[in-house]
Amino acid sequence: MKGITSLCTIFLAACCASICAAIEPVAEDPRLHRGEVRILKLDDPAMREIIPGVLSMKHWFGTDLSVAYFKFREGSGNSDEAMPALHQHGEELAIQLKGNSQVIEKDGTVHEIAEGDVFIIKPWIWHTGTFGDKENRILGIVTPPRKDYPAEGENSYYPGQEAKE
């Protein structure tokens, strides 16, 4: 009898949770593309120059993630302008498509990233980076979606640039 009572209690709790979730309004984020299959073109005219002569990028949104494509010009990845402000966000998985980079944690720990490497940055870790002297391309995926990215088609956000405009 105890087993049946426990199962009934769990069932009722699950039903109540489902009803509450259905009743409670969920704030919709108009930037997200829920339930869509999307084909994203990396190199196309929609790339925007974010830092003149240094960085072009674009970004997209999925259901529960944001995607950013960074393209640093040859000779510019180690410049002061290229180094993002110390920042944090959700978990990031990134692919170093071209060139080399460094991820630098707030405590000074440096992680060397080579062309072809895939790297994962733990959620909410304060970090910055450098992007080498060769042309550099990185595809980064962050979940949950970055709140600091505007709607698709607008200029992408790059940490520290808001203070320079």
Q: Residue 148 belongs to a domain with what CATH number? A: 2.60.120.10
Which of 71, 51, 73, 76 lies closest to 59, judged by CA?
71
Average pLDDT rounded to a whole number, residues 107-111:
97
Whether 52 maps to a domain, the answer reads: yes
Q: Strand 48-51's sheet: what is its strand order?
A: 48-51, 55-61, 66-72, 136-143, 91-98, 118-121
Q: Who wins on pLDDT, 148 or 88?
A: 88
Q: For residue 21, tell me if it sits in a domain.
A: no
Q: Provide, rounded to the nearest whole percent, the portion of the chain with pLDDT above 90.
A: 56
- The whole domain housing 123 covers 48-164
Residue 23 lies in a domain: no
Predicted confidence (pLDDT) at residue 2 exceeds the cutoff of 60: no
d(CA 32, CA 151): 9
Q: What's the total number of domains in the chain? A: 1
d(CA 63, CA 32): 5
Query: The whole model's pTM is what?
Result: 0.77
For residue 123, being part of any structural domain is answered with yes
pLDDT tens digits for range 111-140: 999 999 999 999 999 999 999 999 999 999
